[in-house]
């Protein structure tokens, strides 16, 4: 757990054994119900329960799962603003407010299954206008506590027509009973300093929900695992052309005449860059892997980019956390350990 030194600087304790040195994780490769929040959450809750029945301690869902990744932004020409406005309005109405009823449902499912959940959502900026959307991850503990959220720092290319930019205030590593977990969304993982912010806080389980697939994305997951000496969980939605209802005009006009818009390609990688769960494509499936946390610790004997390979005498690094202009030397560390027996954990 994080502690402050005499100067008030936050430090993390040395890595020791977790409560359970073998951690079962799940990459939930599933297809959302297109632009239908309630139906997609129904599906998500059922999949969380299924992961729990199979012994998973952690279930990771794809980028923008609720109510769907806005795939149309990659196909409709930007000049066709009328069509984009109609789709944005529907996406906005079906998106998630944090906190809110949708989050409560997901939290209840996590609590009932006893599973930590990472869920990709389209999030309304409820703190302000309520009409800007962020590409966000929700982090929910196995006791149903909402541990935090992360808003994607830079929407990628066409996503900028849909999503706003997040800031450093949502960049965090969660200190959990299963280990230290953090993550970035899709091409945020190509931001070296964003990765370093997580490495600097000793991330052990690194989640990478995405819309990307194939090569070089899979090589990216393997590189992050090897570089950070972390277990990496990549998770993507498999989406067929038929999953987009015919009532959407852009389907006939712009979507390619091919069975799959995105084949998926979720995978789980060990700290040496080897697949624990090989990539799965063109179907829905929950991928499982048992993580040997002792392997993670031992692998840092050779390479520890935030330790003996870091060279702080040569390099300096700071994170600015949005409204708080105070610089920090890594992501925030959030205590996500289970509440002691007899103490209730508020959602």
3-state secondary structure of 223: helix
Mean pLDDT of the chain: 91
Separation CA 191–CA 184 (nearest Å): 9
Band of residue 2 on the pLDDT scale cut at 50, 70, 90: very low
The catalytic residue among 43, 123, 152, 227 is 152
pTM of the full structure: 0.90
- List the CATH code of the domain at 20-335: 3.60.110.10
Told to judge if 152 belongs to the known catalytic residues of this protein, a careful annotator would answer yes
Torsional sign, CA 305, 307, 312, 314:
negative
Span of 118-127, 152-161, 338-347 with lowest mean pLDDT = 338-347
pLDDT recorded at residue 324: 52
Band of residue 341 on the pLDDT scale cut at 50, 70, 90: low
Q: Are 123 and 59 in contact (CB under 8 A)?
A: no
DSSP 154: S
Told to judge if 63 belongs to the known catalytic residues of this protein, a careful annotator would answer yes
**Cβ within 8 Å of residue 226, ≥6 positions away:** 271, 272, 273, 303
Q: Using CB atoms within 10 Å of the CB of residue 163, give its burial: 0 to 12 exposed, 13 to 18 middle, 19+ buried.
A: buried
Largest CA distance in the chain: 63
Q: What is the rounded end-to-end Cα distance, in angstroms, of the chain?
A: 21
pLDDT recorded at residue 342: 57
Q: What is the pLDDT of residues 248-297, one digit of tens each?
A: 999 999 999 999 999 999 999 999 999 999 999 999 999 999 999 998 88
Indicate whether 27 pLDDT > 70: yes
Separation CA 183–CA 168 (nearest Å): 13
Q: How many CA atoms lie within 13 A of 227 on its CB side?
A: 17
Separation CA 316–CA 68 (nearest Å): 39
Separation CA 118–CA 142 (nearest Å): 11
Short-list 176, 169, 127, 158, CA closest to 64: 158
Indicate whether 318 pLDDT > 90: no
Mean pLDDT of 61-88: 97
Told to judge if 236 belongs to the known catalytic residues of this protein, a careful annotator would answer no
The catalytic residue among 43, 45, 63, 235 is 63
The catalytic residue among 45, 186, 235, 236 is 186
Centroid of chain to Cα 56 = 17
**Cβ within 8 Å of residue 34, ≥6 positions away:** 67, 68, 243, 244, 245
Centroid of chain to Cα 152 = 9
Helix (H) or strand (E) holding 149: strand 146-151
Instruction: Using the structure block, give the residue that is written with the tokens 């091919």.
Output: 258
Indicate whether 138 pLDDT > 90: yes
């Amino acid at each position: 757990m994080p502690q402050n030194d005499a100067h008030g600087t936050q430090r993390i304790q040395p890595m020791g054994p977790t409560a359970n040195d073998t951690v079962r994780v799940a990459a939930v490769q599933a297809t959302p119900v297109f632009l239908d929040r309630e139906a997609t959450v129904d599906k998500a809750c059922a999949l969380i329960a299924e992961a729990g029945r199979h012994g998973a301690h952690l279930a990771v869902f794809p980028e923008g799962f609720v109510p769907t990744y806005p795939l149309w932004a990659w196909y409709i020409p930007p000049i066709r603003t009328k069509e984009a406005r109609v789709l944005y309005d529907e996406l906005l109405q079906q998106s998630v407010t944090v906190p809110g009823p949708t989050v409560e449902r997901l939290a209840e499912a996590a609590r009932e299954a006893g599973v930590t959940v990472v869920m990709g959502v389209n999030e309304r900026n409820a703190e302000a206008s309520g009409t800007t959307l962020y590409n966000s991850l929700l982090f929910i503990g196995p006791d149903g506590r909402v541990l935090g959220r992360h808003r994607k720092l830079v929407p990628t290319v066409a996503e900028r027509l849909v999503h706003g930019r997040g800031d450093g205030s949502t960049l965090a590593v969660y200190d959990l009973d299963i280990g230290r977990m953090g993550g970035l969304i899709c091409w945020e993982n190509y931001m070296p300093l964003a990765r370093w912010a997580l490495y600097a806080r000793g991330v052990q389980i690194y989640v990478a929900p995405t819309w990307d697939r194939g090569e070089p994305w899979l090589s990216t997951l393997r590189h992050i695992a090897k570089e950070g000496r972390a277990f990496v969980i990549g998770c993507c939605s498999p989406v067929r052309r038929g999953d987009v209802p015919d009532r959407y005009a852009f389907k006939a006009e712009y979507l390619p005449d091919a069975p799959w818009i995105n084949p998926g390609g979720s995978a789980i990688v060990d700290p040496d860059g080897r697949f624990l769960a090989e990539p799965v494509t063109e179907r829905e499936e929950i991928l499982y892997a048992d993580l040997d946390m002792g392997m993670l610790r031992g692998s840092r004997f050779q390479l520890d980019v935030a330790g003996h390979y870091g060279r702080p005498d040569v390099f300096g690094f700071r994170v600015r956390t949005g409204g708080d202009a105070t610089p920090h030397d890594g992501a925030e560390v959030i205590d996500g350990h289970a509440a002691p027996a007899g103490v209730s954990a508020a959602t």
